[in-house]
Amino acid sequence: MATIKEDYVSLETAKLLKEKGFDGECFAAYNGNGKLYEFNKEVDDNTPYWSDAPTLWVTMKWLRKVHNINIDIVSIWNQIRWEYQIFIITPTTSQRPYVDDKLYMEKEKAVEAAIKYCLENLI
């Protein structure tokens, strides 16, 4: 049986989040060498770290609550492939979503790609 673990943003995305003012809850961080540490398991108060590493879910929620950007992940071909759609949430207009033309083999890879797109192009 596989162990299910939290999925954290990549180091590159963590750096983008820091630049964009992310202030959400984090239980992990990357050190100066790019190694991910989970606070509750591996890091004590004396461990230096470079950048907070939120989970994919917390990051998606931050984008929605702070920047009115909603990410949907859509199953293609009976959950064998995944794509993302990005909606800008507005009270009065209906916009067509941005849809990536790439398909991802893992849902989490699609989420990471969508977050990165938002940080690089929409914020």
The number of C-alpha atoms within 13 Å of 76 and in the hemisphere containing its C-beta is 17
Higher pLDDT, 29 or 50: 29
Write down the domain spans for the chain: 11-121
Banded pLDDT at 108 (limits 50, 70, 90): very high
C-alpha to C-alpha distance for 92 and 38, rounded to whole angstroms: 41
- Per DSSP, which regions of 9-122 are E strands? 28-30, 36-38, 51-52, 69-76, 81-88, 98-99
What is the reported pLDDT for 50? 73
Average pLDDT value for the chain: 86
Task: Provide Rg for the chain, Cα atoms.
Answer: 16
What is the reported pLDDT for 117? 95
Banded pLDDT at 25 (limits 50, 70, 90): confident
The number of C-alpha atoms within 13 Å of 87 and in the hemisphere containing its C-beta is 13
pLDDT digits (tens, 9 = 90+) for 87-104: 988 777 667 778 877 899
Q: For residue 86, which of 105, 75, 76, 100 has the smallest C-alpha distance?
A: 100
Return the percent helix, strand and coil in the chain, to nearest 5: 30, 25, 45
Q: For residue 59, which of 95, 31, 20, 90 has the smallest C-alpha distance?
A: 20
